[in-house]
Chains A and B, each alone.
Chain A
């Protein structure tokens, strides 16, 4: 099919038809399904890495504990980790909620603290997000 045929075909058909809307909805559903599948494919992590003042300490995700870092507390509870009792003005670190999947992070910029979940599924989680 040459350019003239393509141009004629488009000139003859309307700008948008019902079938185009259906096609767009179909594309949306397929893409959304793939995205949801990828988003939930994260592997559960095993280790919590807490970086504070340039030093990183690791803790097992399976053991409940509370790490008091002064400006905030990192709480490991029932296989997930979250930040509590933060003294920073915006409290964004607390709002980042609970994380448990490998590759997920909580960052508190004012205090320079990074909480990261790592573990066996770590590599998969990163490439899974990138695929």
Chain B
């Protein structure tokens, strides 16, 4: 086991948690209830590319758990985990088949829209009333945020120095 394989996922998890906490602490940037920029997702996307999907899933889980604990609202896990994993799955598939063909901006945009769709589905199930009327505005805003997050992730990958690349197998 390469030391980088242990330390990098932990490092990225801390970065994702920090961004998530900072975002929670700031006043809502987006004037739509429940919609966040999702800066932490830039790290998850970055991890799908530079590490692997299982490690990105671990980072996502750690981020959701810690942010939910710190915000004092454990129930928010019911929203953040399914939505986060749905978005992760979509992004991982897109990267698996279209990396280099489609940019991370398009990947992140798709992930953000799926994230919002799953959140609204969970909210509808919790409330017992279809909240789909809320989707156009929430989806549009999250799409813009997701694209911005994609730009961040793409720029980060482009700027990644050689020594930060973790080889899949030791040579």
Contact = CB atoms under 8 A, between A and B. Distances in A.
A131 interface: yes
B165 A14 contact: no
B131 A129 contact: yes
Contacts of A15: 103-105, 151, 154-155, 158
Q: Give the dominant DSSP class at A's interface.
A: helix
Contacts, number: 115
A31 B143 CA distance: 11
Interface in B89-129: 95-96, 99-106, 109-110, 113, 117, 121-122, 124-125, 128-129
Count class of interface residues, chain B:
35 or more
A125 interface: yes
A49 to B, nearest CB: 14
B166 to A, nearest CB: 6
Given A20-B106, A105-B129, A126-B128, 20 more contacts: A2-B169, A6-B95, A6-B99, A7-B157, A12-B100, A16-B105, A19-B101, A24-B105, A24-B106, A24-B147, A35-B132, A38-B130, A39-B130, A39-B132, A39-B133, A39-B135, A42-B130, A126-B124, A129-B132, A130-B122
Given A4-B167, A6-B95, A10-B100, A24 B143 contact: yes
A23 interface: yes
B49 A130 contact: no
B102 A1 contact: no
Interface string A19-42: 111011001100110010011001
B167 A28 contact: no
B49 to A, nearest CB: 5
Interface residues of A, number: 38
Contact of B165 (A3, A12, A16, A24): A3
B136 interface: yes
A38 B120 CA distance: 13
Interface of A: 1-7, 9-17, 19-21, 23-24, 27-28, 31-32, 35, 38-39, 42, 103-105, 125-126, 128-131
Contacts of A6: 49-50, 95, 99
B73 to A, nearest CB: 21
Nearest to B51: A3
B168 A23 contact: no
B96 to A, nearest CB: 8
